[in-house]
Structure 1
Amino acid sequence: MLQPLSKRFRYHFYGNRQTNTPGKPEWYLTQVLMWIGNSTTFMEEKIQPILDRAHATINARVELCRGLLTLVREKVAGDASRLLYDDALFCHLVEEVLQFEKELRSIHSYPPPLPGLLHLLLDDAVLQKWLTVEKKMALEKVDGMLSAEGAWISQYKDIRDMDELKSPDCAETFMTLLQVITDRYRPLPCPSAQLKFLELQKELVDDFRIRLTQVMKEESRCPLSPRYCAILNAVNYISTILTDWGDNVFFLQLQQAAVSLGDEAAVGGLGMMEMGRLASMETSLFEGLLALLDRLRGDMMGRLLDGIMRDITEKAKAYCQDRWFSHPSQHDLSAMTLSSSACPMMLCVRDSLLNLHQVLSLSLFQLAWQGLAERLDNFLYQEVVLSNHFSDGGAAQLQFDMTRNLFPLFGHYCKRPENFFKHVKEACIILCLNVGSAILLRNLIKESSSAEDTRDWTGRDDPSPQSALNELGVYYLAPCDVLILFNLRASWPGQ
């Protein structure tokens, strides 16, 4: 039954026939798949019953496939060796072999334990050529991605629900490229060969990270520019995808294979402890890359926040130098309003938050506004609170500016924004404390500090300074900080 098919195959796909074209392996591969498909019904309905009656443990359809595959293997092996020096034709042959294998297994149900064509791609020369060409073509595509006109624009920027990561087009295209490479080597029956491709992918990610770093340095003079933020989104997107890959079943299987094989390239020459964490799945094969990406993301976020704080600091100069010690009492005012010197600073903070919310991915924006709140809290505490003296009216004005104007700017993004301004919030509580309570608290703290060396404070009936502060809502500032703030009050009895 195979003999006439074998003759036809050799007639058409060997020698000087026009159908024997190195650039068209799909012609003979498709022909074999057609023969398999056209013969299936005949083999199952006519031949298989004969074998069953003879009690032969043979599957007629599978035996036909095995016979035809013998022809194809010989042809592919010969073509592959001849095409090692032609990148385009070699790549085409690999693609067609992979497609043939996929159809053979899925459509024609060829049993997985039986060899198909993929083992031909594991020949040392063929595999090395495949890896070399894969890397060469990937790097060429990366060059094109980064130089494209819309490289730093999100392709989903007009589709709100799909734009949570706000990844630029170059990053999306790059990760799609890596996914395509994965899809190509995933069917290979040899884990050590798959690990070689995984190592190639890691090299490509590191190369892309270096390219992003180079572009970032060019843009770092203006960290608020759309391109700088797009690079930051790209780094975050790649890190997010690699983290997901670390939990993917396929890559977890590769991880176990790398550990069992002791593959130095894949595991990166890790020590015993790191190898143990890798074996126990506490970490992933992408851990090294993720650490580098996290470092780049942290560096870029720091530059971004530094740039914003420079603008805010410039706008806040007048506010820092306000005459806080001479502000009139709030009882003398019909209604409190925002300090005029604070307006430029507040507008700058508001505009910065709106801009960050618009250009950064959701997870990055969370980091950005929280980082900005922390820096702003430290700045206001150092440059406004600790650098001035406050009358009762000045303290009340500062508290109004903070609680009714600054904190609500961050209230759009969390329920209790004041919790991100611990220094300023608690300083306002101390500065606005009525004179009687302030005197009692100051005396309690002073007595506590002088009594620490002579007796156990917990044995006294008086509350401890820390519990007294907690009752006022002060948890972050230490008693010594509170004493400093008391010294900044401009009006004390006897002064």
Structure 2
Amino acid sequence: MENEDALLTKIVKDATSLAAEIEKSCGSVPCILDSLNVEVERYSEVLDFVTPLVLKIDDMEKKLRALEIQETLSRYRSEVDAARVLGNADMALDAFTHLSRHLGAYNDCSSGDFHSHLPPYYYAMLASFIKGALTGRRAISLAMRIILEKLEKRFLFNFYGSRLTNMIEKPEWYLTEVQTWMVLNDQWLTWIQDEHLRCPLPSTPLRVEFMRGLIGFVVDKMKFDLGLIAKPPKSYCSDPLLPANKPQFGRVDEASKENPYGLDSSPLATDPDLFGHLIDEVLNFENRLDGLCYPVHELRPVDVLTRLDVLHRWLCLESEIAHRRMQDLLTKTQTLVPEKSSDSPTTPQCAEDFVALVYAISRRGVQLRDAKARAYFFRVQQSLLFTFLSTLSDRLPWLRGEKTKWETTPSANRSDSAVTSDPAVWTAVLNALFFVCETMQDWTNDQYFVELWEDRDIRKLLEHPDPWIDEPSPFEEDSSKMFEVYERQIRQGLEAVVSSLYRSLCEVSRDYRSDVSQWQRIPELGIGKFTGSGGGLSSTAADLAISSLSGKATDMFMLLTGSLSTLAKLLHPSLFVRVWKPLFSRLNQYLYSQVIRRNHFTAAGAAQLHYDIVQCLRAVVLTYTERPEEYISESLDACKLLTLPMGVAALLKEELKDTLTPGSQASSGLMPLIELGISRLSPDEVYEILLLRL
């Protein structure tokens, strides 16, 4: 009991002390609340001050992050631009991969729409490079998989493994087998759909779905033979319970994994002969598919050939073979000889063969669905056109600084150094360039080339050099202006021909030009005749019995007629017209300025000049045109003035003298010139010509 009393006493004391402590604590609570209120007010002010700073720092961090990503995107975007300019699809694909990965990070940290800053053509290029034709392979229905099951087993058994029918050098075997299955089942499948599947109609015709399934076998076979997949594909149709919405050949298994070694691991891709044979057979198979009315947008074997790595190898092979064949054409001994069976007797055989070679490449590229793949085939054609122009231009003598010889010596008697100056050589070169130029004009109406050029992105691609193809371009020109390059080379060549022949004519006519004794000779007594109409001595060639060409003009006329006759036989008619027209115009100016204006003429000299120009030169011009006056009008007008009767010439001189005085009407001097048939000379020039009469 005593212990219990002591314990209770202790508890009471503790409770009393605890109550005192509680009372004391409760008394200090108002003070604590007051101090807390003070602190809350102070911290509220700090919070109001700090919160905007924190938000600002957070915003700055986002902006810095956005700037970092923008800088990264800018770098990858410049890589895309560089890849686009260079035409390097692998580089473009890598850049687009990085670009697409960073776009999501940018959109997460930026409220702005970044896509508005991308050029429009980026989206098309992204779709072209990343979404290949093989990624869109559609699923096959359960019923069609049951139909294809036996054929798939037969295909896998015959064309894989160690079977004798599985030969990589014979792709036509499995292509022909697949085509046979298509033909044999086409009518039956059409009948099934028309007679038994009228309602509801399937979304895709049975025959098209059947063909698409068979082509899937071919695509996988090509990918395995080319080393694009590591292992043979597994059977797909043998599992008929596979959901129909599961993409065909879309399973992620060991058979569908990419081969890490790629094309280099396959002898089919590394052997040019085998690879080229595969391409030929696939393109022939594509033509047969078109004959079976297989839709263009469906899966096709040629889609395998438009993969970046396969297309790259195909283009390199196409370019190499085409350039080798072109060099073979240009190194033949009779390469510049016109073909006997040709419609144009002046077109060299090499030009027609070259055009056929270039056009054949376009016929191969036209079967590709991807426009950019077709554009790269066009780049091969551009490279061939540049090389052909460069090779033939090297045979033009004026580009090597040589002078074209205009002589009558046969080419067989010339030295070796003069053979290249033979007109038969460089006229054939000009004819070849002209034939290619005309062909390019005809191609402007070809749908293949029109579609390429109408695509703005493709046009930009064609306007830049391509590192995939060696373009031995001797001309720093826009490759899209190929026609202008050829036309300019032809124009320069024809100008060189005209200038060379003109210089030769000037050289051989040097004595004729300065033959003062000829122009100022006195006619023999009794030869001239007085005319009743003019009251003076007539000085026409007929009156003075001039019936032969000047002796010193013989060389000039022989060179003129001989050279033009040779060029008329060797040059294409359209090119020859561009030679004789400027040549006669230059010769007319030469005779007018160097012969007529620099000499004085007696009646006999004027009559001789009249015979040389009117009877001889006009006859030469008349060979090529019915209106020679258009090309030698100044010389003809001068001859008329120099052979006028003395009285008429004197009256005309006085009338023009009065007209040319200051204050007189200029039109009054034109009437007598019109009456005399002077059409190209002005009154001043007519007066100066009349002063040359002695």
TM-score using structure 1 length: 0.86
Q: Report the CA distance between 1:262 and its aligned residue.
A: 6.3
Cα 1:249–1:473 change in 2 (3 A) is: farther
Q: Report the CA distance between 1:360 and its aligned residue.
A: 0.5
Counterpart-to-counterpart distance in 1, 2:546 and 2:643:
17
Q: Counterpart of 1:254? A: 452
Cα 1:470–1:265 change in 2 (3 A) is: farther
Letter in 2 for 1:233: N
Q: Counterpart of 2:311? A: 127
Q: Cα deviation per residue 1:61-110 (whole Å; 9 max; x = unaligned)?
A: 222111111111111222334333222222221221111111101x2111
Letter in 2 for 1:97: V
Q: Report the CA distance between 1:144 and its aligned residue.
A: 1.0
The answer to whether the 8 Å contact 2:660/2:684 transfers is: no
Q: Report the CA distance between 1:287 and its aligned residue.
A: 5.9
Counterpart-to-counterpart distance in 1, 2:315 and 2:196:
47
Aligned residues: CA RMSD? 2.5
Cα 1:263–1:359 change in 2 (3 A) is: closer
Counterpart-to-counterpart distance in 1, 2:170 and 2:542:
91
The answer to whether the 8 Å contact 1:2/1:67 transfers is: yes
Q: Counterpart of 2:392? A: 212
Q: Counterpart of 1:192? A: 372
Question: Is 1:87 equivalent to 2:272 in the alignment?
Answer: yes
Question: Is 1:480 equivalent to 2:684 in the alignment?
Answer: yes
Tell me which of 307, 319, 323 is aligned to 2:500: 307
Question: Is 1:236 equivalent to 2:236 in the alignment?
Answer: no
The answer to whether the 8 Å contact 1:242/1:286 transfers is: no
Question: Is 1:326 equivalent to 2:511 in the alignment?
Answer: no
Q: Report the CA distance between 1:47 and its aligned residue.
A: 5.3
The answer to whether the 8 Å contact 1:25/1:93 transfers is: yes
Cα 1:483–1:79 change in 2 (3 A) is: farther
Q: Report the CA distance between 1:138 and its aligned residue.
A: 1.5
Q: Report the CA distance between 1:49 and its aligned residue.
A: 1.7
Counterpart-to-counterpart distance in 2, 1:450 and 1:172:
65
Question: Is 1:115 equivalent to 2:302 in the alignment?
Answer: no
Letter in 2 for 1:85: T
Identity of aligned residues (%): 30
Tell me which of 331, 344, 355 is aligned to 1:163: 344
Counterpart-to-counterpart distance in 1, 2:581 and 2:302:
52
The answer to whether the 8 Å contact 1:403/1:418 transfers is: no
Q: Cα deviation per residue 1:14-53 (whole Å; 9 max; x = unaligned)?
A: 1112222222111111111111112222223345422226
Q: Matches of residues 45-444 of structure 1 in structure 2 within 5 Å?
A: 45-46=191-192, 48-52=194-198, 55-80=201-226, 81=263, 82=266, 83-105=268-290, 107-156=291-340, 162-163=343-344, 166-217=346-397, 221-222=404-405, 223-257=421-455, 259=456, 261=457, 263-268=459-464, 288-322=481-515, 323-326=518-521, 328=523, 329=528, 330=541, 333-334=544-545, 336-444=547-655
Cα 1:342–1:263 change in 2 (3 A) is: closer
Q: Report the CA distance between 1:111 and its aligned residue.
A: 1.8
Q: Report the CA distance between 1:364 and its aligned residue.
A: 0.7
Number of positions where the alignment pairs a residue of Structure 1 with one of Structure 2: 461
Q: Report the CA distance between 1:256 and its aligned residue.
A: 0.9
Q: Report the CA distance between 1:447 and its aligned residue.
A: 3.7
The answer to whether the 8 Å contact 2:512/2:553 transfers is: yes
Q: Report the CA distance between 1:363 and its aligned residue.
A: 0.5
The answer to whether the 8 Å contact 2:337/2:349 transfers is: yes
Counterpart-to-counterpart distance in 1, 2:655 and 2:298:
85
Q: Which structure is larger by alpha-carbon Rg, 1 or 2?
A: 2
Task: Report SS of the residue matched to 1:16.
Answer: coil
Cα 1:365–1:255 change in 2 (3 A) is: same
Counterpart-to-counterpart distance in 2, 1:45 and 1:246:
44
Task: Report SS of the residue matched to 2:347.
Answer: coil
Cα 1:331–1:245 change in 2 (3 A) is: closer
Q: Report the CA distance between 1:127 and its aligned residue.
A: 1.3
Cα 1:331–1:215 change in 2 (3 A) is: closer
Q: Which runs of 5+ in 1 are unaligned?
A: 270-284, 491-495
**Which portions of structure 1, spanning 4 or more consecutive aligned residues, are displaced by more than 6 angstroms?**
none
The answer to whether the 8 Å contact 1:324/1:394 transfers is: yes
Letter in 2 for 1:122: T
Q: Which runs of 5+ in 2 are unaligned?
A: 1-146, 227-262, 406-420, 466-477, 529-540
Task: Report SS of the residue matched to 2:198.
Answer: helix
Q: Report the CA distance between 1:226 and its aligned residue.
A: 0.7
Counterpart-to-counterpart distance in 2, 1:448 and 1:344:
42
The answer to whether the 8 Å contact 1:51/1:58 transfers is: no
Q: Report the CA distance between 1:181 and its aligned residue.
A: 0.5
TM-score using structure 2 length: 0.62
The answer to whether the 8 Å contact 1:246/1:286 transfers is: no
Cα 1:268–1:412 change in 2 (3 A) is: farther
Counterpart-to-counterpart distance in 2, 1:140 and 1:20:
32
Counterpart-to-counterpart distance in 1, 2:371 and 2:673:
62
Counterpart-to-counterpart distance in 1, 2:278 and 2:655:
85
Query: Which stretch of the first structure deviates more once superposed, 227-236 or 376-385?
Result: 376-385
Letter in 1 for 2:287: K
The answer to whether the 8 Å contact 2:464/2:479 transfers is: no
